[in-house]
Amino acid sequence: MQDTVGQDVQTVVFRLGEQEYGIDIFKVQEIIKIPKITGLPNTADYVKGIINLRGCIIPVIDLKSRFTKSESVYCEDSRVIVVEMNAKRTGLIVDEVMEVVRINGNMVEQDGFTQNGTGADYLMGIAKMGDRLLILLDINALLN
């Protein structure tokens, strides 16, 4: 994103609880309703299991429990965002997918968030959209 300052980047906006997040649209394959999830034994709490997406088996992660360590409850707005993560497809369970927005580079604050040691190295920056604050996530860093 550093390379795209001054250019519009399309971002998929989703919600976890009250907070809105954004991920680069090019990382997103598609958005689906939460399908039947097959649980996997011996995995981290936020790894909900695997799903069968048109014949492809892909793992599903609950982003909210990934971030807050809390168990999330799915409602009718809950969705799975299928992303391409480290050249592998993964499903991210979110509370709601809001919209696709174009974010200009100069709307984004990057300083101070991505430094090592903050424990938030998957943060790419904060986009300001009026009075909304959008946390931009680095999907590749998310599962490392």
Partner 1 sequence: MINSQMAEAIKVIAPIWVNSIPGGGLLAITDTKEIIWKAASDVFDVPSIHAGTTVRVGGGPYQAMQQKRQTEEKVARAVYGMRLVMTSVPIIDDGEVTGSFIVVMPRLHPIARAFNDFAPMMANMFHEGAFLYMSDLEKIAYRQGSNRFDIPQWQAGDKISEDTVARRVIRSKQMIAEELDAGKYGVPVRIVTFPCFDEDDPTAVVATFGLILPRETAANLRDMSNNLSRGLEEVSSVIQELAASASEVTINEQQLNGNIMDIFKLSEEINGVLGFIKQIADETKMLGLNAAIEAARAGDVGRGFGVVAEEIRKLSDESKSTVGKIKGLTDNIKQKVDETMKNSEVTLRSSEEQAAASQEMSASIEEITSMSEQLEKIAKAM
DSSP state of 95: S
Pick 25 or 40: Cβ nearer partner 1:
25
Which of 16, 20, 22, 28 touches partner 1 (CB under 8 A)? 28
Tokens of 10: 């399309």
Reported in sequence order, the residue ranges of the chain that DSSP labels E, i.e. its strands, are: 8-16, 19-24, 28-33, 47-53, 56-62, 79-85, 88-94, 96-104, 108-109, 123-129, 132-137
Pick 26 or 45: Cβ nearer partner 1:
26
Pick 33 or 88: Cβ nearer partner 1:
33
φ, ψ at 68 (rounded to 5°): -110, -5
Chain centroid, CA 14 distance in Å? 7
Residue ranges in 30-59 that form contacts with partner 1 under rule CB under 8 A: 30-33
Pick 71 or 77: Cβ nearer partner 1:
77
Give the x/- contact pattern for partner 1 in 82-101, rule: CB under 8 A.
---------------x-xx-
Distances from the Cα of 92 to the Cαs of 18, 22, 29, 50, 98, in angstroms? 17, 12, 11, 11, 14
Give the x/- contact pattern for partner 1 in 114-133, rule: CB under 8 A.
--------------------
**Residues at the site binding partner 1, with contacts judged by CB under 8 A:** 10, 12, 25-26, 28-33, 76-77, 79, 97, 99-100
